[in-house]
Structure 1
């Protein structure tokens, strides 16, 4: 399975990477088109997240302005503020006043643990790095492997992880995924060496017109792709989180039985592309220091 998250029309991805001189971390930002519906499902026992409650289908705002994936554990979540600043300067966000700039951008975020892997514990992503990653977001193909939030990623305690992506179609809809693979588990059973915390972060997106509940359910179904790619998964030492985005360009059936059938197929494909994105992230990871890439071949 090949392709990119950005095969879903209108999605843009930007990375900021810091390597060398005590740095081994970064930020990845996904910017969807305006009006994109968001959902999330957090399954890991050690999550580091920001604004995920805003994606509950029972809350006020159904749409998302950006999703931030960051290194730096909980410290790195400050990058979401930089992304908000970038979007607010451009008038994008939930309107809260009459003026064109009176908006609050909805920017959920999640972090992987990579503290100290570059040599200096305090070198973690900053608000400015979030701003720069949002400014770098572009449609089309983007860098994979040891970039962005995957810069300091590690799997199984001894192999290099990174950013991977994949896409496929479900009927008339496009489904894509981006994964930051920093997991305790490996693609095949075997001994693992858990660190203080690990995590795999995913954004799965589609151009289907989904409501908030359907989008959140897609995030839930997409976790199956993590379980197919990594063993173990969703452990106490992982913060596994899947965000789902639905841009609304492709209409689904309104008749209930037909719509359910389309949703089941779309969510099946969502799990497939997540699995493929995880494996792509491992395949694209390059050697950093003494950490070899995971031997997939």
Structure 2
């Protein structure tokens, strides 16, 4: 916001720079898939914006304004297409056993109900051994990821991004954060499995290059002069299939937001995908952004201006996280 002091990435440059957020990853290399769990320390207001034409989600209806439950216990991002929605089963079982979740009233012998929205990406055709028969691994991976939740976690080929493909490039798990001098923090976590390209045609530069902080994805600037055919999609996937491509993401902030304000944060944050991927929100993409408020810091007046500020920070931070996920996955491929 013009006139404000500079904002900078947090100490980890991860979504966990937002106070009260932890992340856990689990993956199964032989299957080439994985799961990521975003776990707030306390139940948090959550919203979702579905932008792609082929989404795979769970519990997103419960996040709509006017529904009973405003807060969630965790958010799950998973590979595995429709099978991956079962990752939330493992998380719910573990949280329920710990007595966490929503309860309209406390009644002896009646378990609470953890609210765990989730979204999946398609990684079924990536060469891993998917011959799991009637026993997909995702509930177990969800349990493992939940118990791995911590402040530090791996990027690139990790968690939900383990089996991802970003256009013609290896996809992966990305994260980034931004902290303002007046104490607001915004973080993003994303599994990048997009149909579109994250790089300019005929260039190694990321579309998200203008938003890069501290050389976090290679410091490769835009060419000084460049032009391209509007129909040239660069390193996009050649043969996209229905529901075969998805970028699934979660934004978190320490700002204390209402459900309506959290929805606006998600609505603004989705612009970060358009800044980092081209084309995006295609009919065969399942793109979605969740937004979480940990409510650690009240909004200052005027609230609408502060919300606009947070939404812009969320969009640019998500764009950075997308490029960083692909960059980290590519670096792992070079050293493998």
TM-score over 0.5 for the pair: yes
Greater shift after overlay, 169-178 or 220-229?
169-178
Structure 1 residue 13 corresponds to structure 2 residue 23: yes
Task: For residues 102-151 of structure 1, give each alpha carbon's deviation from its aligned partner in whole angstroms, at most 9, with x where no partner exists.
Answer: 2000000000000031333345542111111111111x221000011101
Task: For residues 226-262 of structure 1, give each alpha carbon's deviation from its aligned partner in whole angstroms, at most 9, with x where no partner exists.
Answer: 0000000000111000000000000013x5xx11111
RMSD of aligned alpha carbons = 1.7
Match of 2:102 in 1: 94
Deviation at residue 183 of structure 1 after TM alignment: 0.3
* Bigger Rg, structure 1 or 2: 2
Structure 1 residue 190 corresponds to structure 2 residue 238: no
Match of 2:219 in 1: none
Q: Which one of 249, 265, 269 corresponds to residue 222 of structure 1?
A: 269
Task: Report if the CA contact (8 A) 2:16-2:152 is conserved.
Answer: yes
Task: Report if the CA contact (8 A) 1:180-1:201 is conserved.
Answer: yes
How far apart in 2 are the matches of 1:87 and 1:78? 15
Match of 1:73 in 2: 81
Structure 1 residue 179 corresponds to structure 2 residue 224: no
- Secondary structure in 1 aligned to 2:196? coil
How far apart in 2 are the matches of 1:238 and 1:229? 15
Q: Which one of 160, 165, 168 corresponds to residue 154 of structure 1?
A: 165
How far apart in 2 are the matches of 1:100 and 1:15? 32
Task: Report if the CA contact (8 A) 2:169-2:235 is conserved.
Answer: no
Q: Which one of 298, 303, 306 corresponds to residue 259 of structure 1?
A: 303
- Secondary structure in 2 aligned to 1:237? coil
Match of 1:273 in 2: 317
- Secondary structure in 1 aligned to 2:285? coil
How far apart in 2 are the matches of 1:99 and 1:15? 34
- Secondary structure in 2 aligned to 1:68? strand
Task: For residues 32-63 of structure 1, give each alpha carbon's deviation from its aligned partner in whole angstroms, at most 9, with x where no partner exists.
Answer: 12131100000111101000111112111100
Q: Which one of 155, 177, 200 corresponds to residue 247 of structure 2?
A: 200
Task: For residues 150-183 of structure 1, give each alpha carbon's deviation from its aligned partner in whole angstroms, at most 9, with x where no partner exists.
Answer: 0110011x21010010000244210000010000
Match of 1:35 in 2: 43
- Secondary structure in 1 aligned to 2:130? coil
Q: Which one of 65, 88, 101 corresponds to residue 57 of structure 1?
A: 65
Change in CA separation of 1:44 and 1:122 when aligned onto 2, cut-off 3 Å: farther
Structure 1 residue 117 corresponds to structure 2 residue 126: yes
Deviation at residue 88 of structure 1 after TM alignment: 0.4
Change in CA separation of 1:100 and 1:40 when aligned onto 2, cut-off 3 Å: farther
How far apart in 2 are the matches of 1:121 and 1:14? 23
The answer for unaligned runs of 5 or more in structure 1 is none
Match of 1:250 in 2: 297
Q: Which one of 105, 128, 136 corresponds to residue 148 of structure 2?
A: 136
Deviation at residue 98 of structure 1 after TM alignment: 2.0
**Residue correspondences, number:** 283
Task: For residues 200-231 of structure 1, give each alpha carbon's deviation from its aligned partner in whole angstroms, at most 9, with x where no partner exists.
Answer: 01110000000001101111100100000000
TM-score (norm: length of structure 2): 0.80
- Secondary structure in 1 aligned to 2:43? coil
- Secondary structure in 2 aligned to 1:94? coil
